[in-house]
Structure 1
Amino acid sequence: MGVDTPVAAVLALWNDVDPIHDADYNDWHANEHVPERLTVPGMLWGLRFLATAGVAGPRYLTLYGLRDAQVLDSAAYQHLLAWPTPMSARMRRVMHGISRAVYDVVATQGSLAASGLLLSEDQDLGQPTPTPGEIDAAPGLLRGLRRPDTQPLPWLQTGQSGFQPPLSLRLIALAAGPMALKAPAVPGVSRYRRLPVSGDGQF
């Protein structure tokens, strides 16, 4: 299944690594880690992003589209958490600023598989939103509400170590071009550039 497949929930993970580990991290994450996660039944797509502007927290964002939130309780997914590959075990020691949240999807259109992404709190909570021009040009949009029962990764001994994930999520995909990389038009909007994932056919 591809990134256009409708989903009921989204797993969002924020993290960072020291720049000295960027090359190893991106090779592992694109070619081993995300493809491995996508072998779990019900985990329908995975997208990787790097912050380009407006982000005070971790630089990396990963989104997984889920058939439903219960996929994360499945034996297949729990096995991957409990039995990391050698490279995954190494990366666990160098990643920091890790935060994790599961969102119930309340609205979606198009696909988030574009060259850029805007992330903000949902406008229904009175937070700033992207400009109308950016929304009109967007190839995809997803809105979600954070589940209160989201658990931190079990191997994080101190629990969530990054920033607090937003209570609501508004994701807007950006097509290629200057708009995908320029600074945010309003405060409170984080901007990301899409990174490759092995086998997704986009890079």
Structure 2
Amino acid sequence: MSLLGKAAVAMWWSVRSEQRSEFGDWHSHEHFPERMSIPGFRRGSRWTSTTDAEGFFVLYELEQHETLSSKGYLDRLDAPTPWSTKMMPHHLGMVRSQCRVAASFGGGIACSLATIRLSPEVGRAAELQAHLLDTLGALASQPGLTGAHLLLTDTPRTSSPTTEQQIRGKDGAADWIVLLSGYDPEIIEAAIASPLSPSSLGALGAQDNPMIGRYRLGFTMTPQDVGTS
């Protein structure tokens, strides 16, 4: 898939089994339509972990980075619905990164996704980014793959804990994020083994122990699905 827009919100969290049914109902039928009604939101997608029975990854694609500090978005974050207020405490271990899209290669919606959370070594950010851009650009068009993207966390300076964050508790944040999507999870796995393995990324200037997640598509929505352009 090619990301829609120049910014994104990338989030990882867990939901225990006893809340998952209601979570899916709320997230699909209230929360996604609410978010897609905010000006500047282009697409939302929810992904279910294939290795962690409780894990989710959610991505919101935004028109501009300024959407993150827009009144429309902040008003929603500070005025959660009663159902959202009920569900937010069940978002466990939330990692939420507000990002700029540094690169996006590919197109379409895929069924499988890998996320890699990493950070550059001091003084090697430019080197690492250049290598990643070359690598991701080459991967996106390979058989079995459909998209390769690099997100760089850039939290708005005016950002402060919102009502939703206060309900959840303190959120974590990633630094750099690589997304690799495709229709063949085995090909994605091969790319994670090389050239996007921890050792390969380390040789290019990444810090030790990047965090790798594997997911399948659960649900996606655009503003057109809720009648908002």
Q: Give the TM-score band, short-chain normalised.
A: 0.7 to 0.9
Query: Residue in 2 aligned with 1:21?
Result: 19
Mapped partners of 1:43, 1:133: distance in 2: 27
1:84 aligns with 2:63: no
SS in 1 for 2:73: helix
Alignment of 1:156-195 (within 5 A): 156-157=165-166, 158-160=169-171, 162=172, 164-165=173-174, 167-175=175-183, 177=184, 179=186, 185=193, 186=197, 188=210, 189-195=212-218
Q: Displacement, 1:134?
A: 8.4
- Give, in angstroms, the shift of residue 135 of structure 1: 6.9
1:100 Cα deviation from its structure 2 partner = 0.9
1:111-136 C-alpha deviation (Å, 9 max, x unpaired): 36210101114692799x99x88872
Question: C-alpha distance in 2, partners of 1:148/1:47?
Answer: 21
Report the secondary structure of 2:151's partner residue: strand
Query: CA separation of 1:13/1:20 partners in 2, compared to 1, >3 Å: closer, same or farther?
Result: same
Identity %: 26
Return the letter of the residue paired with 1:81.
Answer: L
How far the C-alpha of 1:179 sits from its partner, in A, is 2.5
Q: 1:107 to 1:4 in 2, by over 3 A?
A: closer
Give the C-alpha shift of residue 11 in structure 1.
0.6
2:149: which partner in 1?
A: 142
Cα separation, partners in 2 of 1:59 and 1:105, compared to 1, 3 Å: same
Aligned counterparts of 2:186 and 2:33: Cα–Cα separation in 1: 29
Residue in 2 that maps onto 1:111: 107
Is the 8 Å Cα contact of residues 152 and 159 (structure 1) preserved in structure 2? no
Using structure 1 for the length normalisation, give the TM-score: 0.77
- Distance change >3 Å, CA 29–CA 180, structure 1 → 2: farther
Give the Å deviation of 1:191: 1.0
Answer yes or no: is the 8 Å Cα contact 2:106–2:141 preserved in 1: no
Q: Is the 8 A contact 1:107 1:142 kept in 2?
A: yes
Query: In the alignment, which of 144, 149, 162 is matched to residue 154 of structure 1?
Result: 162
Larger Rg: 2
Deviation, 1:75, is 1.6
For structure 2, list consecutive stretches of 5 or more residues without a partner in the other structure: 121-127, 199-209
Aligned residues of 2:68 and 2:156 also touching (Cα < 8 A): no
Assess, with a 3 A threshold, how the Cα gap between structure 1 residues 106 and 31 changes in structure 2: closer, same or farther.
Answer: same
One-letter code aligned to 1:136 = Q
2:77 corresponds to which letter in structure 1?
Answer: L
Are the equivalent residues in 2 in contact too, given 1:30–1:196 (CA < 8 A)? yes
Letter in 2 for 1:104: R
CA drift at 1:94: 2.1
Deviation at 1:197, TM superposition (A): 3.6
Q: Which runs of 5+ in 1 are unaligned?
A: none
Does the 8 Å CA contact 1:52/1:181 hold for their aligned counterparts?
no
Q: State the shift of 1:145 in Å.
A: 1.3
Contact kept, 8 Å, 1:44 with 1:66, in 2: the verdict is yes
RMSD: 3.3
The 8 Å contact of residues 16 and 95 in structure 1, kept in 2 or not, is answered as yes
In the comparison of the two structures, how many residue pairs are matched?
A: 190
Amino acid at match of 2:81: T
* Structure (1 or 2) with the greater helix fraction: 2
Which position in structure 1 is the counterpart of 2:8?
10
Secondary structure, aligned partner of 1:172: strand
- Write the distance in 2 (CA, Å) between the matches of 1:26 and 1:92: 13
User: Which letter maps to 1:88?
Assistant: S
Query: Displacement of 1:142 after TM fit?
Result: 1.2
